[in-house]
Amino acid sequence: MLRKFSNSRTLKDNIQLGSLSAFSAGMVNVTSLIIFFAFTSNVTGHYAILAEEISKGNWYQASVVFAWIFLFFIGNFVSNIIIINFNKNNSYLAHSAPLIIEIICLLAVGYYGHFYYRETLSETEIMVGTMLFAMGIQNGLTASISNFSVKTTHLTGLTTDVGILTAMFTKKKYRQNKQLRSKFNVLLAIAASYLAGGIVAGVIYYEAKFLVFFAVSAVIGFIILYEYYKLKVTKFIRIKRTSKLRKSILETT
Amino acid sequence: MNIKNSNLIVLVSSTLLVVGFIISIINTMVLVSPTKHIEGSWKEISWEYEKSENINADKKISDAIKTEICKELIIHEAEVWNFSSNGNLELTSDINNEMLSWTMKGRGNILELSHNTNKIEHYNIQVLNNDQMVLYFSTDIQAKGIVKMTFERIKEDKYAQKI
């Protein structure tokens, strides 16, 4: 899910990565909407708000929204800088590191919110910025390693693609195209996971408040650990096979 | 487009973004935040429907409907709202005084009011400047719609005189 890069990824890899990361993105977005009244996993609306605040002459609000958009951009930048520079040495580490940074950001928001949050506007602005940075990191990572076929927080593009594909599927030749059907499955998995994540987070929030961020971190942590486990298993199988092969060669000679 | 030009475009746009971010951070420190802007006393001027399900309905909200709407809210019927920097909101009317807590959410566009009964309400701040404040909220009373509350700032000396 995390190790393979670009075109070497399978449909299963993309569905797994897309579903889990979209689930966490949905959780973050709904929680921030409930607590802070601001979206944190999509920036299309923030561009519209930025334009609105500038046109109204609300420079303070415009500055805050610009900083949020910039933090989302920086999140994408940071994750791709890590991938570009470390992918050749250790692809697992290069792809896990951005997720670890994301977990740190979300845990910081959860911890601060649970123990220190006094509901001031400046705290809200900083925490929303931190979450946008975290979501930028996640989106940058998933889009980059999946060759732009998985964008977990970009549901405008996703809905557009689903609409286009649905229209294409009215023709038999497109319905029989395996690649298009695979893409459709990935998109549906992402949309369903995003929605499910949002609903789960909403339910958890009313029971556990800021601790919901620990649950989101656990989901992202699962992605990293699952990959680590698979890496170990693959390595173990490879070693076993090699030793078996060596043994059989020795026996024949 | 040659490589030199595209390098220049990347350099300029990156620089602009970073400069924009730095200016934004400075702005948030230098400019008056909405929490500071709202502090002080505000007098209710009007209540009207901004949007209503009933197209033919009169936009102006009568006193009777206003009383009916207020029964469902924690703001009740007040004439003057006094926002303190410590997060207290004093609602004053001819009949009684009420104390609530206030805070802002989002980018300063949501006003959250809470009562000690743990009831919380949210109002959309549509306009907030030196002279005027406009709040929006949804109501289900009579005709479902969005209510627009307009306030005028009471200058400090006038308010002191009134007290």
By C-alpha distance, the chain B residue nearest A69 is: B21
Confidence of residue A135 (pLDDT cuts 50, 70, 90): very high
* Separation CA B35–CA B81 (nearest Å): 15
* Separation CA B148–CA A247 (nearest Å): 83
Contacts of A70 in chain B (CB under 8 A): 17, 20-21, 24
Q: Which of A64, A73, A120 sits opposite B103 (nearest CB)?
A: A120
CA angle A25, A103, A182 (to 5 degrees): 40
- Give me the amino acid identity at A229: Y
Q: Which of A38, A49, A59 sits opposite B27 (nearest CB)?
A: A59
The answer to whether B35 contacts A121, with C-beta atoms less than 8 Å apart, is yes
The answer to whether B107 contacts A66, with C-beta atoms less than 8 Å apart, is no
Which region holds residue A57: left if phi is over 0, alpha if psi is between -120 and 50, else beta? left
Residue among B119, B118, B112 at smallest CA distance from B89: B112
Confidence of residue B138 (pLDDT cuts 50, 70, 90): confident
Confidence of residue A211 (pLDDT cuts 50, 70, 90): very high
Q: Would the pLDDT of B143 be above 60?
A: no
Length reported for chain A: 253
- Give me the amino acid identity at B134: V
Q: What is the mean pLDDT of residues A165-178?
A: 94
Q: What is the pLDDT of residue B52?
A: 64
pLDDT digits (tens, 9 = 90+) for B86-124: 999 999 988 778 899 999 999 999 999 998 777 899 999
Confidence of residue B56 (pLDDT cuts 50, 70, 90): low
Q: What is the pLDDT of residue B155?
A: 83
Q: What is the pLDDT of residue A140?
A: 92
Rg from Cα positions in chain B: 21
Q: What is the pLDDT of residue B159?
A: 58
CA angle B82, B88, B89 (to 5 degrees): 35
* Separation CA A197–CA A31 (nearest Å): 10
- Tokens 């805070």, located at residue: B103
Suggest the residue from B14, B107, B118, B125 to mutate for an interface test with chain A (most A CBs closer than 10 A): B107
Confidence of residue A17 (pLDDT cuts 50, 70, 90): confident
- Give me the amino acid identity at B67: T
Own/partner contacts of A31-34, CB < 8 Å, gap of 24 or more, are A31/A201, A31/A202, A31/A205, A31/A212, A31/A213, A31/A216, A32/A127, A32/A128, A32/A131, A34/A202, A34/A205
The answer to whether A70 contacts B20, with C-beta atoms less than 8 Å apart, is yes
* Separation CA A57–CA B91 (nearest Å): 30
pLDDT digits (tens, 9 = 90+) for A225-247: 987 887 777 777 878 888 888 88
pLDDT digits (tens, 9 = 90+) for B13-35: 889 989 999 999 998 899 999 99
Q: What is the pLDDT of residue A252?
A: 79
Q: What is the pLDDT of residue A246?
A: 85
DSSP A77-106: HHHHHHHHHHTTT-HHHHHHHHHHHHHHHH
- Range of lowest pLDDT (A184-188, B75-79, B105-109): B75-79
Q: What is the pLDDT of residue A92?
A: 85
The answer to whether A63 contacts B106, with C-beta atoms less than 8 Å apart, is no
Chain center to CA of A188: 16
Q: Is residue B147 classed as helix, strand or coil in its secondary structure? A: strand
Rg from Cα positions in chain A: 21
Identify the structural domains of chain A with CATH numbers, from first to last. 10-151+193-252 (1.20.1250)
Q: Would the pLDDT of A205 be above 90?
A: yes
ipTM of the complex: 0.83
* Separation CA A2–CA A9 (nearest Å): 9
> B130 — contact with chain A (CB < 8 Å)?
no
Q: Would the pLDDT of B4 be above 80?
A: no
Q: For A169-225, what is the HEC assignment?
A: CCCHHHHCCHHHHHHHHHHHHHHHHHHHHHHHHHHHHHHHHHHHHHHHHHHHHHHHH
Q: What is the pLDDT of residue B55?
A: 61
CA angle A114, A116, A118 (to 5 degrees): 105
Chain-wide mean pLDDT for chain A?
Answer: 90
Q: Which two tokens stand for residue A174?
A: 């497109």
Phi, psi of A69 (to 5 degrees): -60, -40
DSSP state of B47: E
Residue among A120, A124, A143, A118 at smallest CA distance from A25: A143
* Separation CA B62–CA A138 (nearest Å): 52
Which H or E element spans position B49?
strand B40-52
Phi, psi of B110 (to 5 degrees): -120, 125
Chain A positions contacting chain B at CB under 8 Å are 35-38, 49, 53, 59-61, 63-67, 70, 73, 119-122, 124-125
pLDDT digits (tens, 9 = 90+) for A115-124: 999 999 999 9
> B10 — contact with chain A (CB < 8 Å)?
no
pLDDT digits (tens, 9 = 90+) for A95-110: 899 999 999 999 999 9
Q: Which of B17, B34, B103 sits opposite A60 (nearest CB)?
A: B34
